[in-house]
Amino acid sequence: MAKQAGRTDEALSAIGARVIPDFEGVHEIWPRGERLTAVRHAAEIYKERFTSQGLVHAIKSVDIAAAPYPVKYAFHDAVSVPTLPLISMINRMLVVQYDDWNGTPRTLVFEPTVPDGSAEAPFYRNLRALINRIPGGHLAEKFVLSYYNEPGDVLVKLGLRPGDIDFCTFDHLHVQDPRMILGSTEVIEGETEPRRPLFGDAKMLVHSRELATLQSLHPMQWAWYVEGGLGGVDPAMVVTFDGDIELGRGITLLWTPGHTDGNHSLVVNTPDGVWVSSENGISLDNWQPELSRIPVCANTTSNSAAKSAPMPIPWRILSISTIR
């Protein structure tokens, strides 16, 4: 265990990051009510330290695509719409610039979803097949599916080149094909040549539990991951971490298991305050349902639970300053 911790610290030091000790052990606390209390207490302590360490230099959010997602999953069965079981969920890519703990300027890309890769996941492949069998299904598809930008095009719009990117990361790897981000020596089915890295030599930051899940899929997770998505990918292009890490001043990846075992959330400190992007929820309604304009969402929470809920976590982060 000590050797493993040493290797982790060495890998993080190489990218200018460091471990966050404040949340150590909170996920092992039982029962769950006491765990929640411990997490909130640790968060209050850490936020004070985090905000005192400085701000990120710049951040920009850009729409990538709107994809269909089951309403029952989006709101944990609190909402039922028999006539429209799918909602349109917008995937957004964030570009963040900051200084790491070695003083090196860094650029990170968060959620650079490639729609072609997402379409390979069994859930979306089966959904498309179902839509194609329904009369008029193509009209419903147009209502919930839209494409806005490819990750590479976003860089051009921001005046960046692939070689300017140091790191990329997803909060989890559902419906992601790492081969389309990191490149591969293998040819993806249906294509004619291997994919080249989308962001040059940029490393992908992945929680060790999330990577292990993709490497050994459980039947209950199978539909949401792209099986074989690591085929031909150079292992040196992936940097794994455990727990919570600070990438630099004003930017943190917090381990937030829930949606998946290795899910992590991006936390940034900006002139407008601390913002968090987490796919443990898809909208503000998930975080403070008592304030939701969806009546049934508001009715599912008790007053005591509502009053003790944490601050809402925004799904969309707007431009804070100009990308350098």
Which positions ≥6 away from 177 have C-beta within 8 Å?
114, 116, 117, 118, 120, 188, 226, 229
Provide the token pair at 234.
Answer: 């150079």
Predicted confidence (pLDDT) per residue in 186-197, tens digit: 999 999 999 999
Residue 9 lies in a domain: no
Q: Domain range holding 149?
A: 17-307
Residue 322 lies in a domain: no
CB burial string 47-83: b at 16+ within 10 A, e below: eeebeeeebbbbbbbbebbbbbbebeebbeebbeeee
Residue 264 lies in a domain: yes
CB burial string 204-220: b at 16+ within 10 A, e below: bbbbbbbbebbeeeeee
CATH number at residue 31: 3.60.15.10
| Confidence class for position 157, pLDDT limits 50, 70, 90 | very high
Residue 124 lies in a domain: yes
| Mean pLDDT (whole number) for 132-150 | 79
Query: Looking at the predicted structure, is the pLDDT value of residue 71 above 80?
Result: yes
| Confidence class for position 6, pLDDT limits 50, 70, 90 | low
The pTM score is 0.89
Residue 214 lies in a domain: yes
- How many domains is the chain built from? 1
Count the alpha carbons within 13 Å of 29 in the hemisphere toward its beta carbon: 16
